[in-house]
Structure 1
Amino acid sequence: MVGIRKIGQIRRFLDRETTTRLMHAFISSRLDHCNSIHVALPKTLLRKLQMLQNSAARLVCQTKHRDHITPILHELHWLPVKERVKILLLTYKSLHALAPRYIDNVLTQQSLCRNLRSNSQNRLVPAKVKTISYGHRALSYAAPMLWNSLPNYIKDAQSVALFKRLLKTYLFNKAY
């Protein structure tokens, strides 16, 4: 990407904190923009986005291309691209009436006619999909699948800020 190359040209004049801010402004913001469409991207496309993030991390830490990237991303506290999906935040907001109404209509909570222990787990029902290649990318399927895989203590967070913090910690520990 052009932004990484231009920042790389002036890197020797910048300290680490300034370089990190530039990377967040120009690279991470683009990776995060509309990242809910990354949910079921093919691995080849996700790999290209991950390579972009890896280049940015290497530039910030001034490491060589052959150095292993996982410790660098861990040190910078950056989530891998596949873990940066904001669809879970949208789901949380929808369940707490903080999202647009059209999203509320897509997600349905699981309700059982009998009294079971799973009733208290705050689960969602994934929509039926007709096509395997594109159906799993739909919000009505992907959001419930990701939501149901979360631990209950995250789903039961009392505020959006607490949910974000718990979710990032969970995803960070899962990734590293």
Structure 2
Amino acid sequence: MKTNEEIQVLLFMEGRYRPESQPERFRGRAEFFSEEIPKGNFSMKLRDVKTEDRGEFMCIVHTDNATAYVQKLVTTQISACLADISAWMTSHHLKLNLAKTELLYIPAKSFPSIDLSLTVEDFVVSSSRTAKNLGVTLDKCLTLAPQVSSTARTCRFFLYNKRRIRHLLTEKATQLLVQALVISRLDYCNSLLAGLPACAIKPLQLVQNAAARLITSQPRSAHVTPLLIGLHWRPIAAHICFKALVLAFQAAKGTAPPYIQSLITPYSPARPLRSASSGRLMVPSLRAPGGRAARSRLFSILVPQWWNDLPTTVRTAESLPLF
């Protein structure tokens, strides 16, 4: 809509473009980016711009119609995908367990959340707030708060039980038990937490601090940094960074899987500079579509920043043990 003249420039309703509602002066010149509509982007493209087109244009979205259209489109595509998976599994003498199938819908930032309900083989699969994959609980905003909460709760349970028998165990035996039952859970898939604020991973750090005090039989008020150093444990945030940098080192050396290598680009200056041999990585721009906050957590953006902060001797190490 052109607000200064109150003219409806373009109308998209019930899943299709409505040219009959368009003024003659804009007919054939204004259209939507149809491939972007399922993502919640209703931007308009105006061709052959004229002087009289000058003014302010505003996109007005009626949520009910947009939601219904996207819901129908997404439901159809996901239902067809699940049907194909079920048919493939049946042809290979397998069966898709729809009773344990979870559906997680992650909408675009500019589009409202919708509740999806699919019917596959007379079984209804409804969307949920979280879904578990390989033991990791994902939420629709990808904050990973449910995963952190679940991990911290499980680890605290194990620490509580170990504390009751601590007086019967040696320090070495306690350390082995804690590393097997607690530290392994803190370490599992924690690379997904890269880029989260410190407050998001603080529950995991508190669990690690409690584990260190339990092993060394120290009170709750004991300073934890010397204990972590004595146990050769990195803090949670440092360990997440270390694991990501190890992947970056392997990708830079060509030993990582191809899909990891494709996420980083070696720095190559336009003209001969000393920095060309410093082993730096190219840091992509945050101005690309997708939101600055969301893109800042991407492996291809976050890890090159960490990598470039390393000393040159570390970046140019010849082998992983030296790194």
Secondary structure of the residue that 2:322 maps to in structure 1?
Answer: helix
Give runs of aligned pairs for residues 24-103 of structure 1, distance below 5 A.
24-85=179-240, 86-103=243-260
Task: Give TM-score scaled by structure 1 length.
Answer: 0.87
The one-letter amino acid paired with 1:105 is S
CA deviation after TM superposition for structure 1 residue 94, in Å: 0.7
Supply the distance in 2 between the matched residues of 1:95 and 1:35 (Cα, whole angstroms).
Answer: 22
The code of the aligned residue for 2:297 comes to R
Give the 4+ runs in structure 1 shifted more than 3 A: none
Equivalent pair of 1:8/1:59 in contact (CA under 8 Å) = yes
Q: Does the CA-based 8 Å contact 2:265-2:282 persist in structure 1?
A: yes
Query: In structure 1, what is the Cα distance between the partners aligned to 2:255 and 2:213?
Result: 38
Deviation digits for residues 110-147 of structure 1 (CA, Å, limit 9, x no counterpart)? 10121111111111112223423221111001110111
| Residue number among 270, 294, 298 corresponding to 1:138 in the alignment | 298
Q: For residues 56-100 of structure 1, what are the alpha-carbon distances to aligned partners after superposition, in whole Å with 9 as ceiling and x for unaligned?
A: 001001111111212222222211111001000000011111111
* Partner of residue 149, structure 1: 309
Displacement of 1:5: 1.3
CA distance in 1, matches of 2:182, 2:200: 16
Does 2:315 align with 1:160? no
Contact 2:264 2:282 in 1 (8 A): yes
In the other structure, the counterpart of 2:165 is 10
Gaps of 5+ in 1: 164-176
Partners in 1 of 2:211 and 2:299 — Cα distance?
30
Does the 8 Å CA contact 1:37/1:137 hold for their aligned counterparts? no
Say which SS state the counterpart of residue 165 (structure 2) adopts.
Answer: helix
Name which of structure 1's ranges 5-14 and 142-151 shifts more when overlaid on structure 2: 5-14
Provide the C-alpha distance between the structure 2 equivalents of 1:45 and 1:9, rounded to a whole number of angstroms: 29
Where does residue 171 of structure 1 map in the other structure? none
Separation in structure 1 between the aligned mates of residue 271 and residue 309 of structure 2, nearest angstrom: 22
Offset of residue 42 of structure 1:
2.1
Alpha-carbon distance between aligned partners in 2 of 1:66 and 1:132, rounded to the nearest angstrom: 39
- Residue 148 of structure 1 and its aligned partner are, at CA, apart by 0.5
* Aligned residue identity for 2:277: S
Deviations 1:18-70 (A, max 9, x none): 11111211222112111212221122222111101001001001111111212
User: Percent sequence identity over matched residues?
Assistant: 36
Work out the CA distance in 1 between the residues paired with 2:275 and 2:204.
37
Q: Which amino acid aligns with 1:75?
A: G
Which structure has more relative contact order (CA 8 Å, sep 6+)? It is 1
Following superposition, the deviation at residue 161 of structure 1 comes to 2.1
Cα distance in 2 for partners of 1:28, 1:77 equals: 12
Matching residue within 278, 289, 294 for 1:121:
278
2:267 touches 2:279 (CA, 8 Å); kept in 1?
yes
Greater strand proportion: 2
Which structure has the larger Rg? Answer: 2
